[in-house]
Amino acid sequence: MGDLWVFGYGSLMWRPGFAFEERMKARLGGFHRSLCIYSHVHRGTPERPGLVFGLDRGGSCIGMGFRVAEAQREEVIAYLRERELPTSVYKETTLPIRLEDGRPVRALAYIVDRGHTQYAGRLDVETAARLVAGGHGQSGPNVDYVRSAHEEILRLGLTDRWLGEVVARL
């Protein structure tokens, strides 16, 4: 099967949680990063949901590509399924990405299931900030997750005005 590429666009960018051989900025076409998923496990609960990122239809997303050695392929996939799919709000798929050095590769990615009850869609800034401020789950406060994602997005040289407004209200 060869080495595995994984596309990270949220917490995977700064905390992949698995060993990798190579890490490089990458672009995924056809999907954009969106704070569009009610978190019931990692950053919230069903009674008090937080918000986490999903890859939603349309546009493009700059994130991080990780190359995993073939020998760790199955272990990393099992880890990612446990981490990303506790409530099946994401669909696991393989999509083409373009690495910063121009190489096209196919990468494992997790896109949002718009038919899932945890799909929040596009929220206004005030609603998103309120949910993030009140969310706390198994992985900690939702505020920490959103601030860390925003910092990583800025480190990549990107601007997300809507997310910046959410962070300013936290």
Decide if 53 contacts 37 (C-beta within 8 A): yes
47 is an active site residue: no
Q: Which of 84, 100, 126, 165 is catalytic?
A: 84
Decide if 26 contacts 108 (C-beta within 8 A): no
The Cα–Cα gap between 91 and 149 comes to 21
φ, ψ for residue 159, nearest 5 deg: -125, 135
- Burial label for 1, CB within 10 Å (0-12, 13-18, 19+), is exposed
Catalytic residue numbers, as ranges: 84
